[in-house]
Amino acid sequence: MSGGRAVEVTRTYLQMTRPGQLHPARVQDPAVRVERARRCPVSFYRFLYREVGRLYHWVDRLSWSDEQVRAHLDQEALSLWVLHVEGSPAGFFELLRQGDGSVEIAYFGLLPEFHGRGLGKHLLTEAVERAWTERPSRVWLHTCTLDDPAALPNYTARGFEAFKQETYLATVPDPA
């Protein structure tokens, strides 16, 4: 990547091995709802991925063709859930059933305009509860030091426990 710099990144893997580990946190507002997006339009998925991940260097899927995005969304093992606030999309999460019997919260985040309102805690509570309905052996996710500084504290406050860490180099754009 031209104009980029290499940074050391720490990725932390976290898990819950039983539903009772969840420490829920909710926003008590009828204007806040989470709905499954069935047959999500490719363009809407691209919007969610790009805008939620913009500040955190989510780039892996930006180059995917429409066919690749559609194939991803059509996986039987995948479900996509969208957070709405007063009718507007505010964030999303993906649940992915893995071959080992676990469910991964594969992507999770809020649009920048919705940070700082407690919605991340609410959305994570929803993600974990929906993951456990699949009756997995465990629910897991990972975060890294490129993510929002509130991510890891939110995960541990909800009851996730770290089980693995790794360090790698990533190229990120130079600050503007």
Domains of the chain: 4-173 (3.40.630.30)
Contacts of 48 (CB under 8 A, 6+ apart): 82, 89, 91, 92
pLDDT mean across residues, the chain: 93
Confidence at residue 1, expressed as pLDDT on a 0 to 100 scale: 43
Confidence of residue 17 (pLDDT cuts 50, 70, 90): very high
* Predicted model pTM: 0.92
pLDDT score for 98: 97
Residue-by-residue DSSP string for 142-164: EEETTS-TTHHHHHHHTT-EEEE
Residue pLDDT, tens place only, 81-118: 999 999 999 999 999 999 999 999 999 999 999 999 99
Single-letter amino acid code for the residue at 145: T
Does residue 147 register a pLDDT over 80?
yes
Strongest mean pLDDT among 19-33, 143-157, 162-176: 19-33
Average pLDDT over residues 57-82: 94
